[in-house]
Chain A
Amino acid sequence: KAGVTQTPRYLIKTRGQQVTLSCSPISGHRSVSWYQQTPGQGLQFLFEYFSETQRNKGNFPGRFSGRQFSNSRSEMNVSTLELGDSALYLCASSLAGTGREKLFFGSGTQLSVL
């Protein structure tokens, strides 16, 4: 079974630009959640999607958005990039999204904002 796939692996953007990151969950998994990882802040929850609906949202500005498609693949978008958005963005999938089952993480997208 293929794992969680995130593309691209690395991304370099400049301030003010927009970026879209992609996440393909494990086949059959319906919940996809996104996390931002930085050395100073650790893993911060962005949002969670389940069956194409955003079910939970973390404390991030509206510049961060996401969506989930009918095949459970998810994208997250960051508009008007700021230097502080430089981070590793991880997505994680799980079967039913109960909060009581293990998360399978992708290898992440390393975003650098110059």
Chain B
Amino acid sequence: QQPVQSPQAVILREGEDAVINCSSSKALYSVHWYRQKHGEAPVFLMILLKGGEQKGHDKISASFNEKKQQSSLYLTASQLSYSGTYFCGTESNNAGNMLTFGGGTRLMVKP
């Protein structure tokens, strides 16, 4: 079953913050986050593993609550380059690369 992402779309002004949520009904081993710009390949942002760790990467960070099977991606002081579609991918079978991706969140950052 596909994880549920929310919101489906968000429009920001440069410098504003955003949170994208990813929720699964299955027990998870890891959560991946990718960003895809129009006409391009998805690009890796970060992986969160069981243990509830929070990871950061420039002004983009994420958390993973394994008890709730939820992950959140935090975009701080957004830049125009942050525009794109964000996907979370969840791993629940502990048997190799078999990610189940959410439906995506379209983010548009305006000047």
Contacts and interface: CB of A to CB of B under 8 A. Distances in A.
B98 A48 contact: yes
B97 A99 contact: yes
Nearest to B90: A99
Q: Which one of B96, B100, B102 has the highest number of Cβ atoms from chain A below 10 Å of its Cβ?
A: B96
Contact of B30 (A50, A90, A100): A100
Given A43-B87, A56-B93, A99 B99 contact: yes
B103 interface: yes
Contacts, number: 81
A103 B2 CA distance: 18
Interface string B29-72: 11010100000111110010100000000000000000000000
A31 B97 CA distance: 8
Contact of B97 (A4, A97, A106): A97
A55 B98 CA distance: 9
B44 A104 contact: yes
B84 to A, nearest CB: 13
B81 interface: no
A71 to B, nearest CB: 19
What DSSP secondary structure best describes chain A's contact surface? strand
B44 A33 contact: no
Q: Which one of A42, A94, A97, A104 has the highest number of Cβ atoms from chain B below 10 Å of its Cβ?
A: A42
A97 B41 contact: no
Contacts of A105: 34, 41-43
A101 B89 CA distance: 12
A103 B100 contact: no
Interface string A29-67: 001010100000011110010100001101000000000
Contacts of B41: 4, 90, 105-108
Q: Which one of B41, B47, B87, B91 has the highest number of Cβ atoms from chain A below 10 Å of its Cβ?
A: B41
